[in-house]
Chains A and B, each alone.
Chain A
């Protein structure tokens, strides 16, 4: 089964209660082709850095801009299967 769009989301264990994250850097522009396993962004939660890896090969869609606030469980973007 093919899912049309795979979300980019931090694992729940990256967060404590009531914490917010910040999108530090996107490594690709919106609409870029990315490969499965490739780092696409880095984010910070409480001074700890996390790397976000593309869950599949496809087209990157950015939902949260650089310096944007990230909430627990909310995707920062997605990778669409072409």
Chain B
């Protein structure tokens, strides 16, 4: 057994370690974004990179439309840019380069051009930041063919998914939920977010979900922040004698239907939880995918615990009412048992 000391890096540090490893070995990797040179990014994704890789870390004006277009063009021309969108909400101003330049070009050029760019996005609420800095919007990107979407929930996965994203020849979005990054000014992370990060490089394959807690009575599927709420819910349910299995989706695209179906085949019950909006989102996609595979597995109708279809309120109490949490997940499980 290797004698490796347990390293409990935060996901922000773990992901950055993967970026550094890749940048050291591939001079074509650039890191582009707002406040990445001096500030290291809003969520510490680029701390220290500009010193270590002079000229390859580029500060941009507040013009996502422009610098996402630059990144997509650079990727088509042989570079491998990592481009940061600090808040998922501002995807609204740069969907054109992400979708029409990055995601579609491989198809539209009949494979003549690849667009190997990584988009790092900060997402999620819980900080009373209001409707323009709190959304998850995972499913918006996942909806468009041609771009992969990964959402790490813990340190180990953050590093492995960033390695996988950078090495992929397609555009890949790494969407970090702010509350799962372990950035000091965002508060103390839940213990289940921080885990051992090996020093060596390793890949968590895009499109691989993971059973993070085994159970037999109900499957709870979540991603990012909601995985940790599902784990807390599973603790509460166990006190009532209910055994919950928790599946961390880890990627929306590709979607690991095999792991999902396997789990529901075992438990017969399903609750899907997501901090993204309820309607037309991940929860519906996951439920539909499993039902289409074999509806006879279900002992009860599936339930969804997601963000209600309202823009995130800035008020602390109102935002709390909207956020999916362990108590709402417990309630949903009890409804189908």
Q: Residues of A at under 8 Å CB distance from B?
A: 22, 24-29, 32-34, 39, 42-44, 47, 49, 66-67
Contacts and interface: CB of A to CB of B under 8 A. Distances in A.
Interface stretch (B4-12, B85-93, B202-210): B4-12
Best-buried of A25, A34, A42 by chain B (most CB within 10 Å):
A25
B185 A47 contact: yes
Contact of A27 (B8, B185, B189): B8
A44 B188 contact: no
A25 B5 contact: no
B185 A44 contact: yes
B211 to A, nearest CB: 26
B9 to A, nearest CB: 6
Interface of B: 5-10, 13, 44, 182, 184-185, 188-189, 194
Contacts of A42: 10, 184
Contact of B182 (A25, A33, A44): A25
Best-buried of B13, B182, B184, B194 by chain A (most CB within 10 Å):
B184
Contacts of B44: 49
Contacts of B7: 27-28
Given A25-B194, A28-B7, 6 more contacts: A22-B184, A27-B7, A27-B9, A34-B5, A43-B184, A49-B185
Nearest to A22: B184
Given A25-B10, A25-B194, A33 B184 contact: no
A49 B48 CA distance: 13
Given A47-B185, A49-B185, A67-B188, A26 B8 contact: yes
B21 to A, nearest CB: 16
Closest CB pairs A-B (n = 3): A24-B184, A44-B184, A32-B5
Contacts of A25: 8, 10, 182, 184, 189, 194
Is chain A's interface secondary structure helix, strand, loop, or mixed overall? strand
A7 to B, nearest CB: 20
A27 B152 CA distance: 19
Contacts of A34: 5
Contacts of B5: 28, 32-34
Contacts of A32: 5-6
A59 to B, nearest CB: 10
Contacts of A47: 185
A54 to B, nearest CB: 11
A67 B6 CA distance: 20
Contacts of A66: 188
A44 B8 CA distance: 18
Contacts of B188: 24, 66-67
A8 to B, nearest CB: 16
A47 B188 CA distance: 14
B92 to A, nearest CB: 29
18 contacts: A24-B188, A25-B10, A25-B182, A25-B184, A25-B189, A25-B194, A27-B7, A27-B8, A27-B13, A28-B6, A29-B8, A32-B6, A42-B10, A42-B184, A44-B185, A49-B44, A66-B188, A67-B188
